């Protein structure tokens, strides 16, 4: 790979490729510093499944030196868009806009499978799909004890089965007012409900609302909001992502919030990147910038404003940085600060806590064997700390790590940081919320 030539944007053959999204690839100097951080390289050990190799493949594809063969599609498709490569790259190669654009191009170039996946993702946005997932999660929980045995017989299938969580309580709701703080509110916080969180992690939404009220915020969940669009953007379905972004921008700005709060790292990163998504939309670019400026991860807001809980949690915990919180939003300390606030909770750092755990949207459905290998790799780092609990801040990471623990470490708990803090609060303090 050291002798590969640089990608040249002027050689892009297809009129369907937006060259500006790919220009930055020419900055790659093939140093390879990104390679060891790539989760797919860590488990597959092939250059074509590492960022430097993928940059080479993307360049060759759009210049027309190679065609969109199934093998090339597979190497590009295996990228989780975790963006670790972007963060460590000394040349500032903007990897993700290029990958999203190339995936958009591949859908146009007859990717039937890619189109089907976009349709599957669209179907997931329907409330009936959410309710079905919620019901499946509740029924599937009965079979957890069988998963380790199934994992020995049918490893990939068992990993997929282990993926579905056991939702705690009824699906969470949208509505104009969810909580009012005691006393004069510090501000009005509008929360992003998201597409799967209300069904798979309703308890995390309820904990988020309760903690925001304790931190002094009036909490609203604007009606009219929808999926943030991140998974569509990552798949290359850019038009759908833009459509969803415009709907969210209208819904959130109508509520005139002081802050927009997100408890899913991938969705928060998307809202903060709406200006990039809508950079060519004259009508919405200004509004996209307003939304981005107002958006905070829930841990950023709580670390600044939540009083310490009085309740204790006697446990050893380790924290897994969600990729889109650490590498994109650069939020690393607030979740740790929140965990350190909890009396008797001991936080131990694992090796490379910001390495991807494989929980990237529908990735485990389309690449169960690789997702399983990545999750297992991460679990080994967690187990090496001796922790009894692994805490994260994103539903995708919670799903991936939980699937791994159900198969290989059933006594290890996986929790969202908000659920951990709320547990400590519930144990130790009186509160009031609507
Ligand atoms: S670190 Fe950056 S410049 Fe070096 S190979 Fe990776 S993408 Fe290219
Ligand atoms: S985004 Fe993540 S998975 Fe994709 S090439 Fe970069 S490091 Fe690897």
Domain count, the chain: 2
Residue whose CB lies within 8 A of the most ligand 2 atoms, among 44, 75, 82, for a mutation test = 82
List, for residues 147-172, the tens digit of each pLDDT value: 777 777 778 777 877 877 778 877 77
pLDDT band with cut points at 50, 70 and 90 for residue 132: confident
Instruction: Give me ligand 2 centre to Cα 82, in Å.
Output: 5
* SS3 category, 226: coil
User: What pLDDT was estimated at residue 1?
Assistant: 47
Q: What is the pLDDT of residue 128?
A: 76
Whether the per-residue pLDDT at 434 is higher than 50: the answer is no
Mean pLDDT within 181-201: 87
d(CA 204, CA 421): 11
Residue 146 pLDDT grade (very low, low, confident, very high; cuts 50, 70, 90) = confident
- Residue 151, classified by CB atoms within 10 Å of its CB into exposed (0-12), middle (13-18) or buried (19+), is buried
Q: Which of 57-61, 194-198, 317-321 has the highest mean pLDDT?
A: 317-321
pLDDT value at position 431?
46
Of 199-203, 255-259, 273-277, minimum mean pLDDT range: 199-203
Q: Per-residue confidence at 4, pLDDT binned at 50, 70, 90?
A: low
**Dihedral (CA of 376, 377, 379, 380) sign:** positive
Domain contains 119: no
Question: Is position 413 within any domain?
Answer: yes
Average pLDDT on 237-242 reads 94
**Residue 426 pLDDT exceeds 50:** yes
Q: What is the pLDDT of residue 111?
A: 66
The confidence band for 433, taking pLDDT boundaries of 50, 70 and 90, is very low
For residue 82, the SS3 value is coil
Q: What's the whole-number mean pLDDT along residues 162-188?
A: 75
Q: Sign (positive/negative) of CA torsion 168, 173, 174, 176?
A: negative
- How far lies 232's CA from each of 82, 108, 228, 238, 305, in Å? 15, 15, 9, 6, 33
Average of per-residue pLDDT across 360-381: 91
1 C-beta closer than 6 A to ligand 1: no
Considering Cα of 104, then 369, then 142, then 356, what sign does the dihedral take? negative
The verdict on residue 271 lying in a domain is: no
Comparison of pLDDT for 418 and 63, the residue scoring more: 418
pLDDT at 93 > cutoff 90: yes
Percentage of residues of the chain with pLDDT beyond 70? 94
Q: Which domain holds residue 48?
A: 9-110
Task: Reduce the DSSP state of residue 229 to 3 states and report it.
Answer: coil
Residues 21-44 have a mean pLDDT of 94
Q: Is the CB of 24 under 6 A from ligand 2?
A: no
Sign of the Cα torsion 356, 360, 363, 364 reads positive
Q: Is the pLDDT of residue 248 over 50?
A: yes
Mean pLDDT of the chain: 89
In a domain, 380, yes or no: yes
Nearest residue by C-alpha to atom 2 in ligand 2: 82
Centre of ligand 2 to C-alpha 81, Å, is 5
Domain at 424, CATH number: 3.40.50.11810
Tell whether ligand 1 has an atom less than 6 A from the beta carbon of residue 32: yes
**Domain CATH code at residue 60:** 1.10.1060.10
- Identify the domain boundary among 75, 110, 145: 110
pLDDT grade for 5, boundaries at 50, 70 and 90: low
Give the number of other CB atoms < 10 A from CB of residue 131.
Answer: 13
Q: Let me know if residue 26 belongs to a domain.
A: yes
Tell me, what's the pLDDT at 416? Answer: 97
Identify the pLDDT of residue 177: 57
- Segment 22-33 shows an average pLDDT of 92
Q: With a 6 A CB cut-off, is 6 part of the ligand 1 pocket?
A: no
Out of 80, 110, 140, a domain closes at 110
DSSP state string for 331-372: --HHHHHHHHTSTTEEE-PPSSTTS--S--TTHHHH-HHHHH
Is residue 348 within 8 A of residue 421, CB to CB? The reply is: no
pLDDT digits (tens, 9 = 90+) for 287-336: 999 999 999 999 999 999 999 998 999 999 999 999 999 999 999 999 99
Domain membership of residue 23 (yes or no) is yes
Nearest CA, atom 5, ligand 2: 51
In-domain check, residue 390: yes
Range 36-52 average pLDDT? 97
**17 falls within a domain:** yes
pLDDT-based confidence at 432, cuts 50/70/90? very low
Final residue belonging to a domain, choices 92, 110, 128: 110
Reading phi first (left if > 0) and then psi (alpha if -120 to 50, else beta), residue 330 is in: left
Which has more confidence, 264 or 169?
A: 264
């Amino acid at each position: 790979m050291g002798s590969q030539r640089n990608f040249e944007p002027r050689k892009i053959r297809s009129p369907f490729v937006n060259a500006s999204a790919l220009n930055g690839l020419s900055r790659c100097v093939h140093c390879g510093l990104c390679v060891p951080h790539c989760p797919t390289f860590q488990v597959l050990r092939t250059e074509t499944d590492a960022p430097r190799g993928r940059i080479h493949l993307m360049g060759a594809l759009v210049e027309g030196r190679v065609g969109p063969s199934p093998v090339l599609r597979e190497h590009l498709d295996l990228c989780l868009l975790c963006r670790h490569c972007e963060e460590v790259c000394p040349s500032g190669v903007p990897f993700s806009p290029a990958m999203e654009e190339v995936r958009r191009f591949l859908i146009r170039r007859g990717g039937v499978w890619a189109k089907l996946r976009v349709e599957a993702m669209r179907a997931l946005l329907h409330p009936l799909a959410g309710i079905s997932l919620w019901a499946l999660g509740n029924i599937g929980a009965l079979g957890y004890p069988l998963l380790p045995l199934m994992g020995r017989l049918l490893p990939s299938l068992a990993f997929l089965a282990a993926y579905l969580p056991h939702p705690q309580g009824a699906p969470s709701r949208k509505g104009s007012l969810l909580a009012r703080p005691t006393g004069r509110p510090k501000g009005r916080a509008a929360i992003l409900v998201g597409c799967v969180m209300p069904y798979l992690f309703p308890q995390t939404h309820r904990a988020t609302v309760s903690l925001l009220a304790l931190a002094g915020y009036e909490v609203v969940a604007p009606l009219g909001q929808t999926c943030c669009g991140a998974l569509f953007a990552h798949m290359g379905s850019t038009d759908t992502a833009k459509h969803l972004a415009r709907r969210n921008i209208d819904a959130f700005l109508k509520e005139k919030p002081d802050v927009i709060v997100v408890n899913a790292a991938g969705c928060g990163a998307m809202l903060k990147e709406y200006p990039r998504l809508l950079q060519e939309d004259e009508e919405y670019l200004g509004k996209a910038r307003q939304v981005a400026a107002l958006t905070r991860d829930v841990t950023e807001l709580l670390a600044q404003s939540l009083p310490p809980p009085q309740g204790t949690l006697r446990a050893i915990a380790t924290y897994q940085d969600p990729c889109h919180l650490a590498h994109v939003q650069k939020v690393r300390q607030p979740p740790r600060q929140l965990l350190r606030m909890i009396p008797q909770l001991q936080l131990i750092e694992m090796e490379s806590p910001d390495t991807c755990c494989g929980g990237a949207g529908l990735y485990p459905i389309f690449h169960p064997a690789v997702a399983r290998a990545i999750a297992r790799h991460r679990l080994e780092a967690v187990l090496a700390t001796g922790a009894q609990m692994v805490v994260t801040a994103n539903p995708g990471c919670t799903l991936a790590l939980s699937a791994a623990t159900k198969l290989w470490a059933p006594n290890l708990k996986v929790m969202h940081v908000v659920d951990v803090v709320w547990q400590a609060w519930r144990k130790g303090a009186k509160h009031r919320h609507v």
